[in-house]
Structure 1
C-alpha cells in the first residue's frame, strides 16, 4: 500500500527519508491531540490533508490549490482513486479486516472503472469470457497468460475472490480470445500449483503486476478445444 500511494504522489515533491515530523513523506504542518495537518507543496499544486477527531468520528479533508498548469488535469485523474483509498483506509483503521481486503478493493475498482473497459477494446488483448453465476450473461475479463499446446495458463491475483473465478466455479465452460480468435475451453482451478513459480513462465509484464498487487494467487489452466 505504501508503494501504491507513493506512486500516486509523483510530482508532489515528497521526500523518502524517515523523519518524526513527516508521515510517508508528508510534512506535519501542525498537530494537536485532535487535529493533524499534513502538507505537500510542489511546483504544480499545494495539497493539505487535515485529519480531525471528535468524540466518536474521524474527519478527513483534502484541500488542493492549483498553482500551475496542468495541476487541475492531474488532480482530476487522481480524484477517483483518492475517493476510494481514503474511506477504505479509515474503515480499515476502525475495525478488523481480512488481510488484503483494501488492496483487493482498490485494484478491482480501478479495473472495473478504467482498466477493463480500456483493455477490452484493444484488438490484441486476451479476453476470458465466463458465464455470470447469477445473471447467466457472458462476462468478459482482460487477462494475461500463455498458451502451451492446447492449454492456456494464467494466475488470478485475488484467487476465489475474483468475480471471474467465482463464475468458473459455477460453470467452468469458458471462451478465450487469443490473437483476435475465439476459442472454447474448460477452465480448471489449481490451488495446489505453485502460483509464484508459475508466474515465472508467463509473460513478464503481466506477471510483475500480478505479483505486485495480488494477495491470493491462484493458478488457472484452460483446456482448449
Structure 2
C-alpha cells in the first residue's frame, strides 16, 4: 500500500481528474492487486450501493454532505457519479461548507482512491483536518476490504440495483 497526502504530493494524472476549481486537501492511496475490476465496481466494493449507517454519520452528520438515497446507477453510497472514464470514476458530494470528490482509478495491477476537498466556508477548514487523520487511518483497510469483496464468489461489488449479487 502506498499513499501521499497533500495537493502537490498526489500524482498529477490522478489530481487532474478532480473537477474542483481549487484544492484545499488531497490524498491518495494505492493498493497493488492482481484483481481486475472496473473503477465503478471497485467504488461499490469500497462504499456499497447505498450509504451505511456509519457512512451516513460521517458524511451526513459530521460533514453535512447531501447524499442520495436508495440504489441507483447514478450514485455510489449516496455520492453522485459525476463522471466516468475507461479507468476511473469520480464521485461528488457537497455541503454548505465543503465540496468533496472521491476518485477511484484502476489498472491491470492496482487500484487507487483519491480524496479531494475544497473548503467553501470556515467550518470545512475547522472540521476536516481532525477527521482527515481518521480518514487516512481507515482508507488502507477500505481498499483491502474492497479487494476481498471483488475477489469473493458471487461477484460482490457489482451494482445490486442491476440485479447482481449484493
TM-score by length of 2: 0.53
Residue 53 of structure 1 is matched in structure 2 by 106
Confirm or deny: 8 A CA contact 2:68 2:80 kept in the other structure. Answer: no
Q: Deviations over 1:42-78 (max 9, x none)?
A: 2111000011112201111100000011111111131
Q: What is the count of residue pairs matched by the alignment?
A: 96
- Gaps of at least 5 residues in structure 1 are 97-225
Largest Rg, 1 or 2: 1
Residue 175 of structure 1 is matched in structure 2 by none
Asked if 1:9 corresponds to 2:59, the answer is yes
How far the C-alpha of 1:82 sits from its partner, in A, is 1.1
Match for residue 97 of structure 2 among 36, 44, 58: 44
Match for residue 129 of structure 2 among 70, 76, 89: 76
Answer 1 or 2: which has greater strand percent.
1
**Residues 196-211 of structure 1 mapped to structure 2, 5 A cutoff:** none
**Residue 65 of structure 2: SS of its match in structure 1?**
coil
Of structures 1 and 2, the one scoring higher in RCO (CA 8 A, sep 6+) is 2
CA pair 15-59 structure 1, distance change in 2 beyond 3 A: same
Asked if 1:20 corresponds to 2:70, the answer is no
Residue 201 of structure 1 is matched in structure 2 by none
Confirm or deny: 8 A CA contact 2:98 2:124 kept in the other structure. Answer: yes
How far the C-alpha of 1:33 sits from its partner, in A, is 3.4
Q: Matches of 1:17 and 1:74 in 2, distance apart?
A: 27
Confirm or deny: 8 A CA contact 2:91 2:101 kept in the other structure. Answer: yes
How far the C-alpha of 1:36 sits from its partner, in A, is 0.5
TM-score by length of 1: 0.40
Residue 38 of structure 2 is matched in structure 1 by none
RMSD: 1.7
**Residue 118 of structure 2: SS of its match in structure 1?**
strand
